[in-house]
Amino acid sequence: MTFSDLLLQQTINGLSLGAMYALLALGFTLVYGILELINFAHFNVFMVGSFIGMWTLQLMGINGQAVVMTGLPLIGVMLVALFVTMLLSGGLGVVIERLSLRPLRNVKGPAAMITTIGVSYILFNIILLTVGADSKNYPNPLPPIQWALGDAVLRLREVLIWVISVLLMLGLHVFVQRSKMGKAMRATAQDPEAARMMGVEVDRVIIIAFFLGSALAGAGGLIFGLYYNFTSFIIGFTAGLRAFTAAVLGGIGNVPGAMLGGVIIGLVESMGGQFIATEWTDVIIFSILVLVLVFRPSGLMGRVAPNKS
C-alpha cells in the first residue's frame, strides 16, 4: 500500500466518521443555539436511535448480513427505516423536552444540564436492562459493492453515509434558512425575549429544535449500525463527546459549522490513529476542544454568542 493510497484510505475513513459526528453535532447545536443548554441526553438518543433502526429493519425481515438487496427494494427499505427511525427518535426528543426540561425552563444554573445527565443515564440503563449488555449484530441489506482506488477501497456503505448525511444536512440548512419556522428558530436563538414579543411561539420552536436534533441523532444511529454492522448500549458516550467537540469546533449554534467540525474531528481521529496512536485519540480531541474554547470560543465559523449573562 503506497503512502498516498494510505492517506486516501484514511481520508475516506475520516470522512465517514465525520459524517456521523456531524449529524450528531447538529442536534447539540440546534438545542444549544436556542436554549444555551448542553443536552447530555442527546448522547443516548443517538444510541436508542440505532436500536430503533435495528428493530425496524428486523421487522421488515432483515436479519444479520444474510439478506442482500439491490435496486428499488433496497431504496424502499432504507427510506422506510430512515423515516421510522427519525420519527421515533424525534418523538423521544420531544418527550424528553416536555417531561423533564420544560418545567426547568426558567431555572438558572446547572439544574437543566444535570437533568439531561439523569435522562441520559435512564435511557442508557433502560436499554441495558431490556436488551442486555452484549453487542448486537446489525441487520444490513446493503450489497458488498466496493471500488478500488489504487490500494484504497471505497465501499458502497461509505458512499451511502455521505449521501444520506449531506442530504439531511442540506435539508436542515434549507429549513433553518428558508422556512418560517426556521426563521423563528433563528430569531429565538438571537433573543428569545424579543422573539416572544414578535409573536414567535418559543415553546413550539424549542419542541421543533428537539425533534429535529433528535431525529438527526436517530438517523446517525441507523447509519452507525449500517456502517459498523453492530450496535450496543454503550455507543453513545464516546460518539457524543466527539460530536460535541465537533459542534464547539465549528461554532456552537452554527449549522454549517457543525458539519465542518464533524468532518475535522473525523479526520483528526483517523489521521491521529495513523500517525500518532489510537490510545491518545481522546487526549488529542479534548486538547482541541480546550484550545478552541480558550483561543476561539466562537469556533471556526461561529457567530459571537449573544451576551445573555
Partner 1 sequence: MINRPITRRAAVGIAAGVAATAGLGIRPLWAEDKSVTVGLDFSLTGADAESAKRMENGAIMAFDEANAKGGVNGYKVVVTPYDDGTATAGQYDPAQAATNARKMVSNKATVAAIGPQMSGAGKAMAPILSEGNLAIITPSSTNPDITNPKFAAQYKPEGKAIYFRTVATDAYQGPYMANYYADVLHVKTVYLLDDSGAYGVGLADAFQGQAEKKGIKIVGRDRLDPKAADYTTVLTKIKSLNPDAIYYGGVLQAGVKLAKQSYDIVPKMIKGGGDGVYGPEMLTGVAYPANQGWYATVASPHVTEEAKMTQWVKAYKAKFNVDPDDYAVTAFDAATVILAAIKATSEGGKEPTRAAVRDAIQAVKVNTLQGPVSFDANGDLQDKTISVFQIRQDKDITPEDMRNYHYIGAAPSA
Partner 2 sequence: MAAMTDLFTRVPLARRQQILTLLVAVAAIAFPLIHDNDADVDSAANAAAYATLALGLNIVVGFAGLLDLGYAAFFAIGAYAYGILTSFQVMPHWGPFWQPFAWLELVQRVPNPGGDLVHFTVSFWIMLPVSALIAAGFGVLFGAPTLRLRGDYLAIVTLGFGEIVPIVVRNVDSVTNGAAGLNGVQAPRLLGHSFGIAAWPYYYVAIALVALLMFVSVRLRDSRIGRAWMAIREDETAAAAMGVDRTRTKLLAFAIGAAFAGATGTFYVAKLQTATPEMFGFPVSVMILVMVVFGGMGSVWGVVLGAVFLQLLQSWFLEDISGWIHDLGNLIHQPWMLRIDLTESIELIFGLILVFMMLYRRDGLIPATRKQSALSFEQQHAEVRRGGFTALAGLGEFAREGHTGLEVKGVTVRYGGLVALNAVDLTVPAGGVVAVIGPNGSGKSTLFNVITGLTENDGGVIRFDGKDLLGLPPHQILREGVARTFQNIRLFTNLSVLDNVLIGQHARLKTGPIAAVFRPPGTRREEVAARVWATEILGLFGNRLLPRATQTVGHLSYANRRRVEIARALASRPKILLLDEPTAGMNPAETMELAEQIKSLHALGLTILLIEHKLDVVTRLADKVVVLDHGEKIAEGTPDEVRKNEAVLEAYLGRGTLAKGTVDA
Binding-site ranges for partner 1 (CB under 8 A): 1, 6, 9-10, 13-14, 16-17, 64-65, 132-137, 155, 224, 228-230, 232, 234-235, 237-239, 269-270, 272-274, 277-279, 281-282
Q: Which is nearer to partner 1, 125 or 179 (CB)?
A: 125
Residue ranges of alpha helices (H) inside the chain are: 3-35, 41-59, 71-96, 111-131, 156-178, 180-190, 192-197, 202-228, 236-250, 255-275, 281-295
Site for partner 2 in 201-240 (CB under 8 A): 237
Min dist. Cβ of residue 283 to partner 2 (A): 5
Cα torsion angle, 170, 241, 91, 179, sign: negative
Candidates 11, 46, 15; CA nearest to 28 is 46
How many other CB atoms sit within 10 Å of the CB of residue 241? 16
Cell matching residue 287: 486538547
Give the one residue of 67, 69, 181, 241 binding partner 2; rule: CB under 8 A: 241
Site for partner 2 in 122-181 (CB under 8 A): 122, 124-126, 128-129
Residue 37 backbone zone (phi > 0: left; psi -120 to 50: alpha; other: beta): beta
At 70, phi and psi to the nearest 5?
A: -140, 170
Min dist. Cβ of residue 259 to partner 2 (A): 20
Min dist. Cβ of residue 105 to partner 2 (A): 12
Q: Residue 248 touches which of partner 2, partner 1, none (CB < 5 to 8 A by kind)? A: partner 2
Rounded CA gap, 215 and 72, in Å?
24
Rounded CA gap, 25 and 39, in Å?
11
82 DSSP assignment: H
The residue range among 139-147, 214-222, 260-268, 291-299 that interacts with partner 2, by the rule CB under 8 A, is: 291-299
Residue appearing with cell numbers 471556526: 300
Rounded CA gap, 89 and 49, in Å?
6
Cell matching residue 89: 427518535
At 272, phi and psi to the nearest 5?
A: -60, -40
Q: Residue 120 touches which of partner 2, partner 1, none (CB < 5 to 8 A by kind)? A: partner 2
Q: Provide the mask over 243-262, with x wherever binding to partner 2 is found by CB under 8 A and - wherever it is not.
A: -x---x--------------
Q: Which is nearer to partner 1, 5 or 201 (CB)?
A: 5
Q: Which is nearer to partner 2, 76 or 110 (CB)?
A: 110
Min dist. Cβ of residue 137 to partner 1 (A): 4
Give the one residue of 75, 79, 114, 163 binding partner 2; rule: CB under 8 A: 114
The residues with which 136 forms a beta bridge, in sequence order, are: 231
282 binds partner 2 (CB under 8 A): yes
> Which residues make up the interface to partner 2 (CB under 8 A)?
36-38, 100, 103-104, 107, 109-115, 117-122, 124-126, 128-129, 237, 241, 244, 248, 279-280, 282-283, 286, 289-290, 293-294, 297, 305, 309
